[in-house]
Amino acid sequence: MSPLFPALAEGPAGLPALAFGDRSLTYAALAAAAGAVAERIGAAGRVAVWATPDLETAVATVGALAAQVAAVPLNPKSGEKELGHILADSTPDLVLTAPGAELPAALAGLPRVEVDVRATGTAPAQDADDATPALIVYTSGTTGPPKGAVIPRRAIASTLDALADAWRWTGDDVLVHGLPLFHVHGLVLGILGPLRRGGSVRHLGRFSPEGVARELGTGGTMLFGVPTMYHRIAEALPTDPELVKALAGARLLVSGSAALPMHDHERIASATGRRVVERYGMTETLMNTAVRADGEARAGTVGVPLPGVELRLVEDNGTPLAAYDGESVGEIQVRGPNLFTEYLNRPDATAAAFTADGWFRTGDMAVRDPDGQVRIVGRKATDLIKSGGYKIGAGEIENALLEHPGVREAAVTGEPDPDLGERIVAWVVPADPRFPPGVEELADHVARRLAPHKRPRVVHHLDALPRNDMGKIMKRSLGSHA
Ligand code: MCA
Ligand code: AMP
């Protein structure tokens, strides 16, 4: 397979590749620093990356890819239980960090390699097999702890090239975003994407509408974000003429990771004259569909299948839907070079995720318009919650809540939230009704064990959870108990 980043070897050496605030690296400096990482980790089986929103995370990942060592990006806000699970499951040989980063106790047992962005080294020349695991990204399911999706080099190359085709994404583009770097959206699309094109990325460190206005207003051409970020932009537009100007001047505004509500689409379009385009992907599949830069930006659709991606809608019994009538709903199944290989150490879950002939079951429900555009209408599992663009399993939060001494029983649901898309709601039967644990206490408990974005935002106390004759919790009837 050809190199993932041709520009690193033969590209515009003096051009900017990465910028995080006022810290930046040219292609030549990135090649040298990533080469030094590759030299140091060459013999490792797998490495963890402490994925803070910094230059070092990008250099660490490019270095691991150059060494052909699979990288496991870690959320630096992971709680002890989640981190413990990911480390026990992925067994990295070492952890790559920024110099001086403070690491939690769970990582104390691992050798620590600090990334020096000024170092000079040369990545060992190796023939890369496109099936080689490049990244292992942890993603939540409905129950149990997150699973590690093993993403091969082939998937990264094919998804980024397909997006380049859809969006006319070239080395002239300057991408702006403030996405976290431990998920596909921020890391693969947001960092590896520009590098594969020989273009550049300006990362905001932390998302803010002001940061977007500044970077898009001074040369940025594209913006990537989750709907919560576009919602916050839509809120800021009426009082921020700089932001209006910056968005109006951008070449492409892209939203993904969850559905962008029509109201935010409309507010941004009417203030800036620009329509946000959506694309649809998943950790396991990278990108499946996109609204094309040369296509009609019809609000509410996620566009058409990307080149190389086969996509079909199937009925409950597995029969593919024959017609694109804009009405018949089916589960999206996909096949193509963009897919992950397996869930690490979970052959059972891997087998269940695919049909006998290799289609991946996404669990997303959609219709297709007569012209082939895909519109997502829902999700098969009610126990998956999308909050701020993060996928969160109800089961893992319920398990964490049950470990709190004040909780006897717990159920978790998602409810609509204008900012987050969905917010996490906990329904709790207290161990002692006289001292029911409050929302702050339970939020802290979950944030400490799992991650802050998994914390419940609302807690309801009940005498008992509604159950059916089989003893199963009837989540759909919980709303009437609020
Ligand atoms: C508040 N905080 C707490 C607590 N309460 N921390 C610990 N314990 C507590 N009890 C802290 C938070 O950690 C955070 O800290 C601050 O308060 C505010 O948190 P919050 O309101 O939750 O969120 P936010 O920081 O405002 O974040 C909104 C966001 C974020 C920026 C939109 O949700 C985000 O970055 N989402 C992106 C998700 C994403 O990339 N998904 C991609 C996966 P502090 O202020 O220190 O930060 S999907 C994917 O990859 C597929 C392939 C796809 O299709 O894209
Ligand atoms: P994750 O597992 O965190 O990678 O999230 C993948 C899920 O995000 C998909 O299965 C969809 O449910 C959702 N998703 C991603 N992009 C979109 C979009 N543009 N519109 C609606 N849902 C989306």
Ligand 1 lined by 179 (C-beta under 6 Å): yes
The dihedral over CA atoms of 265, 270, 274, 276, expressed in degrees to the nearest 10, equals 0
Q: What average pLDDT does the segment 414-437 reach?
A: 97
212 falls within a domain: no
The answer to whether the CB of 180 is under 6 A from ligand 1 is yes
In a domain, 177, yes or no: yes
Q: Give yes or no for residue 279 CB within 6 A of ligand 1.
A: no
259 occurs within a structural domain: no
Contact 178, 210 (CB under 8 A): no
The answer to whether residues 452 and 442 touch, using CB atoms and an 8 Å cutoff, is no
Structural domain tally of the chain?
Answer: 2
Determine the pLDDT at residue 299: 76
What is the domain-level CATH number for residue 442? 3.30.300.30
What span, in angstroms and rounded, lies between the C-alpha atoms of 73 and 339? 18
Domain termination residue (choose one: 138, 169, 190): 190
Backbone region of residue 223 per phi and psi (left: phi > 0; alpha: psi in -120 to 50; beta: other values): beta
Output the pLDDT for position 45: 92
CA 473 to chain centre: 30
> What is the Cα–Cα distance from 395 to 31, expressed in whole angstroms?
43
Closest atom of ligand 1 to 279 CA is: 54
Which one of 138, 156, 183 would you pick to mutate in the ligand 1 pocket, going by the greatest count of ligand atoms within 8 A of its CB?
183
Which residues are registered as beta bridge partners of 148? 138
Going from the C-alpha of 132 to that of each of 71, 138, 152, 360, the distances in angstroms are 12, 18, 5, 20
Q: What whole-number distance in Å separates Cα of residue 282 and Cα of residue 137?
A: 11
Residue 274 belongs to some domain of the structure: no
Residue whose CA is closest, atom 9 of ligand 2? 282
Last residue of a domain, which of 141, 168, 190? 190
Count CA atoms closer than 13 A to 342's CA, side-chain side: 9
What CATH number is given to the structural domain containing 77?
3.40.50.12780
Query: Using alpha carbons only, what angle is made at residue 336 by residues 334 and 342, rounded to the nearest 5 degrees?
Result: 80
Last residue of a domain, one of 190, 219, 249: 190
Query: How much is the mean pLDDT over the chain?
Result: 95
Nearest Cα neighbor of 156 from 148, 164, 147, 146 is 164
pLDDT at 13 over 80: no
The single-letter code of the amino acid at 44 is A
Q: What confidence score (pLDDT) does residue 482 get?
A: 67
Indicate whether 321 belongs to any domain: no
Distance from Cα 386 to the centre of ligand 2, integer Å? 8
* Nearest atom of ligand 2 to the alpha carbon of 363: 10
At 38-66, the pLDDT tens digits run 999 988 899 999 999 999 999 999 999 99
C-alpha of residue 384 to centroid of ligand 2, in Å: 11
In a domain, 337, yes or no: no
| Domain that residue 91 falls in | 6-190
pLDDT in tens, 271-301: 999 999 999 999 999 999 999 998 877 778 9
Asked if 153 contacts 127 with a C-beta cutoff of 8 angstroms, the reply is no
% residues pLDDT > 70 (the chain) = 99
- Whether 155 is in a domain gets the answer yes
Among protein residues, the one with the nearest Cα to ligand 2's atom 3 is 391
Beta-ladder partners of 222: 175, 252
How far is the C-alpha of 286 from the C-alpha of 302, rounded, in Å?
A: 14
The answer as to whether 334 is a domain residue is: no
